[in-house]
Structure 1
Amino acid sequence: MAVAGDLIDRFLGLPRTAPVDYGVARDLRVPMPDGVALVADLHRPREAGPLPVVLMRTPYGKHRADARLFAGVLARRGFQVVVQNTRGVFGSGGEFRPFHDEKDDGLATLAWLRAQPWCDGRVAAAGGSYPGFAVWAMAPYADPPLAAIGLGATASEFAGSFYPGGALALHNTLVWSAKLGTRDPARTGRRAPGPLHDRRVRRAMRHLPVGEADTAAIGRPEPFLREVTAHAEDPGFWAATDHSAAVAATTAPATMATGWWDPFLRRQLRDFAALHEAGRQARITIGPWGHDAKAMFAILADQVEWLEGHLMGDRAALRRAPVRLHLQESGRWLDFERWPPPGTRTTPLYLTGGLSWEPPAGTADEPVAFTYDPLDPTPSVGGPLLLPGRGGQRDNTATERRPDVAVLTGAPLDRDLDLIGPVSATVHVRAGTGHGDLFVRLCDVDGRGVSRNVTDGVLRISAPGTVRAEVEMHPTGYRFRRGHRLRVMLAGGAFPRFARNLGRGEPAGRAVASRRVRFEILRDAAHPSALHLPVWHG
């Protein structure tokens, strides 16, 4: 075990340390105010007195490899770790209602921990993805504050990720719903997912109505998908699960780690900015990762370093810039004092006959048009996805050849162009039926003509006539190399990443009938459509 632990530490890039002998007390019952008990495992150095506690709360099961890895790495380094199954999963009582109960259950667990004789009163909390959200659901309200928090590939508000730009994020929502529906065979009566599971889920993405795609995917209703699709036109339903307004009041020192291709990056950067602007102790690392195993290992290493600094007194590793990021295609890691970095200037790139840094003059450029057919939807390629192996940067060439997209390309660059920061687009558009989704993607075209996605965004349009569409796109840190060209692709969707807009304005979860939608993109002097790019002058 000592040899295995040493290999894991070396793999994670952690400094070597003498391993601590620890034991595990399993299935401790933690009482909630409503009488429900949640189960947890306590990983604790043997024959130790009261110690601080690191808490992780997970709906995926404390038995899973990632939870055991998290607890084992910390326990070998002398930490006391509690991994708890959230309400309604793997032996914990009650019903699992994603995102709804984490505040009350987290605070009740925190009070219970502080009352235990083996806890010295100091509690930190850490986790990635949903366990990271569970940290945010508790941290702003903890009194006294948590000793430190670690937040990996997560955010204080998740509902915006269900409906980016008002469109339903079908791929990520159905993938996660199917995972929930098959996670706990003891409760669902279903066997764990087999090798055909992913294929069945992919096929189910075409099911109409979308609100019943769960039965096509896993053979039974899944409450989370039903909630998300039922409230696609009412995101206010999730208000009680939104902790973003409390972020700035969070005084616990916070470390964050994520990747450029993580679906929660946009909101995680907002959380970081809120902490930084409030003068809190916070840092963030953004690497060339997605929502995947590489990110998980980086998150764990980041959190171990942070927790050692704040609970064990090893402050040396904490002396770094608040922002550390990988500039893609440059091979460089960069440190900055804030986000967006100093030296970044938002610069418009105009949609003209091609792409231009100069605004259009007169009316020479006619609207560019394309027609979107929900029965033959424009496919999505890559991007920030939850399912490993399908997201990230991909070759877009085949999609760009389709007749249902518009493609505008700039001239070859005479020098490297670095983008670091938030990206957006202003597009003057007409959707023929008054109902449609505008998908905007920025790509990097290399010297061989291969076009790869860099960032994108979507906006649901529900208005007749010409609309000034303000599209929030995914943040990026990316180098376009000299000789490469920038390309913008516009489409009426990106399926199955986003649910098809059926063009009739009917509720997304129940709609089945469809209409083709003709889009016109205006790009003259009176309608200067453009991307707003964060050009970094380093």
Structure 2
Amino acid sequence: MSAFAERLVDRQLGMIGPAVPYVRERELRIPVSDGVVLLADLYRRPGPLEPRPTVLMRTPYGRDGLGSLIGSLLARRGFQVLVQSTRGTFGSGGQFRPFLHESPDGLDTLDWVRAQEWCDGRVSMVGPSYVGHTQWAIAPYAEPGLCSMNADITASEFTSTFYPGGAPGLLNLASWVNQIGRQERSGAVTGFLATPVFSRRKRRAVAALPLQAADVALTGGPVVFWRDFVEHAERPREFWAPAEHDGFDAAAMPPVCMVTGWWDLFLDRQLVDFTALQRGGATARITIGPWTHGDRGSLSTIAHEMVHWLGRHLHGEPGDDRAPVRVYVQHADRWTDLPCWPPPDASPTEWYLAPGGRLRAEPATSRELDTFVYDPADPTPSVGGPMLQPPSKQHDNRPVEARDDVLVYTGEVLENDLDLLGQVSAVVYVRTAGQQGDVFVRLCDVGPDGASLNITDAMHRLAPEREATSPDGTTVVRMALGPTGYRVRAGHRLRVQIAGAAFPRFARNHGTGERMSAAVSGQPIRYEVLHGPEHPSHVVLPHHP
């Protein structure tokens, strides 16, 4: 990166102060236990080598680009940084099987770093998204432990993010598969570039059946990770066990700093990790802004938190008295500091499905039944939400709500602002033939102009072998919708949607019980959604005073 580009980056990120000179040693060769050699670049002070604390970053996206951006940014702030290409990427040996090799390769790399004359044994790790997951693959097992982690927009385990509620997160995975399948090809468009041509190609690929071959349509060739993703959709946790690091001992973890966004696909799981760390006695803090995954608006916060956390835990610089949790309340346009997550002063309020498509603060007094038919040949679409590529965040849901395969329940006009801060959940009593199908629940904010903007949602795939079903075939679906920080303004109304799909964000349910990877046909599913005194379907909202 040129000096001019570095100055521009510092200015864009609001990083002030003089830059420290550094040198970059390229393509250091790091052997791991099975004989594979991984390549890395070292950013260090000019002059003779001397033992210093080291920042480690392991990335599948190349040592240039994100690697050089973070490496040089930290080097200019006086940190020594090693940026390594993970197995099978950008010159490193072996085959890239995402998530599966990061723990053994990472621990071998950590041992190698600590054995070098330029490292004093103290090591911290940084990086967002997949780069953050490589930290989770090391930190719970490192002996001695890491000095600190900056694990942004990421999580300790894989399954719950990419198979949320048991339904494969199709469109986000297709975006990432396109990136990893094409990023090293000469002349290929890399990164998450949402060009119209790519967006159309991606949607065609995930709409075609069978899904097993979508990687070829996306990238022009097979991608092992895509085949792993679709082939193991029915029992994902078993296959992805090597990628799951959520059984960590919080008391043994290093200090962890996190930045994420209300519209990030890892948010749910990242807050589970944060809560476990905090309750288990670890030093942890988190910032949640109004951002999507990798949102440009988040970059300055990520950079400043990273430099501050590393300075504190590697160089002994003073800390601050900031609260452990800092969140942005959307549409209230304010930041709020909290001592913990979930917010201790949020009170749960229940809103019940009621006759006539109403949403009420008290249960209905009569038994009611609403029906719709979901057709896998024309799966219910979705708009907005925590997507890797636009359209993400909030969008007007009225075109979707007008479909006859979507149930809509709307509350009265609010007399006062309603601040929601914490975990949203839902309980839905549903009947389908053979307990087949998906249940998608979305909470919306309806403005005076009628626009219905999504706040949060969740998907649940019914599984007869694990569902609790009553003799009349009714299943009680209990769902944790995504957490939120959101003000529903006075004069607005709350709305709940219930549907049998949110396509192509989630893979369609074929209604036949066939494996997702090979299914080429489907069967319509009739849904009955019950509400009333015996079946009090409702959402639980975290009202924050």
Post-superposition offset of 1:292: 2.5
Instruction: State the TM-score, normalized to the length of structure 1.
Output: 0.95
Aligned counterparts of 1:312 and 1:5: Cα–Cα separation in 2: 23
Q: Percent identity?
A: 50
Given that 2:274 and 2:284 are in contact with CA atoms closer than 8 Å, whether structure 1 keeps it comes out as yes
Equivalence for 2:140 = 140
Post-superposition offset of 1:6: 4.7
Equivalence for 2:90 = 90
Post-superposition offset of 1:247: 5.0
Post-superposition offset of 1:122: 0.7
Given that 1:383 and 1:391 are in contact with CA atoms closer than 8 Å, whether structure 2 keeps it comes out as yes
Aligned counterparts of 1:420 and 1:250: Cα–Cα separation in 2: 30
**1:343 maps to amino acid:** D
Residue 348 (structure 2) pairs with residue 340 (structure 1): no
302-311 or 324-333, which deviates more: 302-311
Q: 1:231 and 1:4, CA in 2 relative to 1: closer, same or farther beyond 3 A?
A: closer
Aligned counterparts of 1:321 and 1:97: Cα–Cα separation in 2: 38
5+ residue gaps in structure 2? none
224-233 or 292-301, which deviates more: 292-301
Equivalence for 2:414 = 413
Post-superposition offset of 1:11: 2.8
Aligned counterparts of 1:247 and 1:431: Cα–Cα separation in 2: 41
Aligned counterparts of 1:383 and 1:162: Cα–Cα separation in 2: 14
Aligned counterparts of 1:78 and 1:522: Cα–Cα separation in 2: 62
**2:111 maps to amino acid:** A
Aligned counterparts of 1:250 and 1:373: Cα–Cα separation in 2: 50
Post-superposition offset of 1:303: 1.1
Is the partner of 1:367 in helix, strand or coil? strand
5+ residue gaps in structure 1? none
Aligned counterparts of 2:269 and 2:278: Cα–Cα separation in 1: 14
Work out which of the residue numbers 344, 358, 362 in structure 1 matches 2:362.
358
Post-superposition offset of 1:197: 3.3
Residue 509 (structure 2) pairs with residue 501 (structure 1): yes
Is the partner of 1:216 in helix, strand or coil? helix
Aligned counterparts of 1:29 and 1:413: Cα–Cα separation in 2: 63
Post-superposition offset of 1:355: 0.7
Given that 1:62 and 1:83 are in contact with CA atoms closer than 8 Å, whether structure 2 keeps it comes out as yes
Equivalence for 1:491 = 499
**1:208 maps to amino acid:** L
Is the partner of 1:246 in helix, strand or coil? coil
**1:446 maps to amino acid:** G
Q: What do residues 65-111 of structure 1 show as CA deviations (whole Å, max 9, x unaligned)? A: x2221111110011011110000011000111110110111111111
Aligned counterparts of 1:89 and 1:344: Cα–Cα separation in 2: 45
Post-superposition offset of 1:3: 6.3
Aligned counterparts of 1:51 and 1:33: Cα–Cα separation in 2: 25
Post-superposition offset of 1:217: 1.7
Given that 2:420 and 2:544 are in contact with CA atoms closer than 8 Å, whether structure 1 keeps it comes out as yes
Instruction: State the TM-score, normalized to the length of structure 2.
Output: 0.94
Post-superposition offset of 1:423: 1.3
Equivalence for 1:118 = 118
Is the partner of 1:34 in helix, strand or coil? coil
Q: What do residues 366-394 of structure 1 show as CA deviations (whole Å, max 9, x unaligned)? A: 2111111111111110111112x221111
Given that 2:13 and 2:299 are in contact with CA atoms closer than 8 Å, whether structure 1 keeps it comes out as no
Aligned counterparts of 1:180 and 1:25: Cα–Cα separation in 2: 26
Equivalence for 2:223 = 222
Given that 1:378 and 1:494 are in contact with CA atoms closer than 8 Å, whether structure 2 keeps it comes out as yes
Paired residues for 1:100-111 under 5 Å? 100-111=100-111
Is the partner of 2:408 in helix, strand or coil? strand
Q: 1:462 and 1:140, CA in 2 relative to 1: closer, same or farther beyond 3 A?
A: closer
Aligned counterparts of 2:338 and 2:26: Cα–Cα separation in 1: 43
**1:70 maps to amino acid:** I
346-355 or 23-32, which deviates more: 346-355
Equivalence for 1:432 = 433
Equivalence for 1:8 = 9
Paired residues for 1:254-269 under 5 Å? 254-269=256-271
**1:199 maps to amino acid:** R
Post-superposition offset of 1:244: 0.4
340-349 or 421-430, which deviates more: 340-349
Equivalence for 1:311 = 314
Equivalence for 1:470 = 478
Aligned counterparts of 1:332 and 1:158: Cα–Cα separation in 2: 32
**1:514 maps to amino acid:** G
Work out which of the residue numbers 438, 463, 480 in structure 1 matches 2:488.
480
Given that 2:412 and 2:494 are in contact with CA atoms closer than 8 Å, whether structure 1 keeps it comes out as yes
Post-superposition offset of 1:416: 0.8
Equivalence for 1:55 = 56
Equivalence for 1:127 = 127
Is the partner of 1:120 in helix, strand or coil? strand
Aligned counterparts of 2:9 and 2:463: Cα–Cα separation in 1: 52
Equivalence for 2:67 = 67
Aligned counterparts of 2:31 and 2:519: Cα–Cα separation in 1: 43
Q: 1:243 and 1:435, CA in 2 relative to 1: closer, same or farther beyond 3 A?
A: same
Given that 2:330 and 2:486 are in contact with CA atoms closer than 8 Å, whether structure 1 keeps it comes out as yes
Work out which of the residue numbers 271, 274, 282 in structure 1 matches 2:273.
271
Aligned counterparts of 1:297 and 1:154: Cα–Cα separation in 2: 17
**2:366 maps to amino acid:** G
How many residues get paired? 528
Equivalence for 2:323 = 321
Aligned counterparts of 1:250 and 1:175: Cα–Cα separation in 2: 35
Equivalence for 2:531 = 523
Is the partner of 1:478 in helix, strand or coil? strand
Deviation beyond 6 Å, 4+ runs, structure 1: none
Given that 1:2 and 1:19 are in contact with CA atoms closer than 8 Å, whether structure 2 keeps it comes out as no
**2:163 maps to amino acid:** Y
Given that 1:201 and 1:218 are in contact with CA atoms closer than 8 Å, whether structure 2 keeps it comes out as no
**2:424 maps to amino acid:** V
Equivalence for 2:333 = 331
Aligned counterparts of 2:201 and 2:17: Cα–Cα separation in 1: 46
**1:360 maps to amino acid:** A
Is the partner of 1:474 in helix, strand or coil? coil
Given that 1:159 and 1:238 are in contact with CA atoms closer than 8 Å, whether structure 2 keeps it comes out as yes
Post-superposition offset of 1:8: 3.0
Q: 1:240 and 1:225, CA in 2 relative to 1: closer, same or farther beyond 3 A?
A: same
Equivalence for 1:241 = 243
Post-superposition offset of 1:534: 1.2
Aligned counterparts of 1:319 and 1:210: Cα–Cα separation in 2: 50
Equivalence for 2:212 = 211
Equivalence for 1:23 = 23
Given that 1:139 and 1:250 are in contact with CA atoms closer than 8 Å, whether structure 2 keeps it comes out as no
Aligned counterparts of 2:9 and 2:174: Cα–Cα separation in 1: 33
Q: 1:419 and 1:78, CA in 2 relative to 1: closer, same or farther beyond 3 A?
A: same
Q: What do residues 110-155 of structure 1 show as CA deviations (whole Å, max 9, x unaligned)? A: 1111111111111100110000000000011111111111010000
Q: 1:203 and 1:247, CA in 2 relative to 1: closer, same or farther beyond 3 A?
A: farther
Equivalence for 2:184 = 184
**1:255 maps to amino acid:** C
367-376 or 253-262, which deviates more: 367-376
Given that 2:165 and 2:459 are in contact with CA atoms closer than 8 Å, whether structure 1 keeps it comes out as yes
CA RMSD across the alignment? 1.7
Given that 2:210 and 2:519 are in contact with CA atoms closer than 8 Å, whether structure 1 keeps it comes out as yes
Aligned counterparts of 1:390 and 1:447: Cα–Cα separation in 2: 23
Aligned counterparts of 2:98 and 2:4: Cα–Cα separation in 1: 38
Given that 1:458 and 1:472 are in contact with CA atoms closer than 8 Å, whether structure 2 keeps it comes out as no
Post-superposition offset of 1:433: 5.0
Q: 1:7 and 1:214, CA in 2 relative to 1: closer, same or farther beyond 3 A?
A: closer
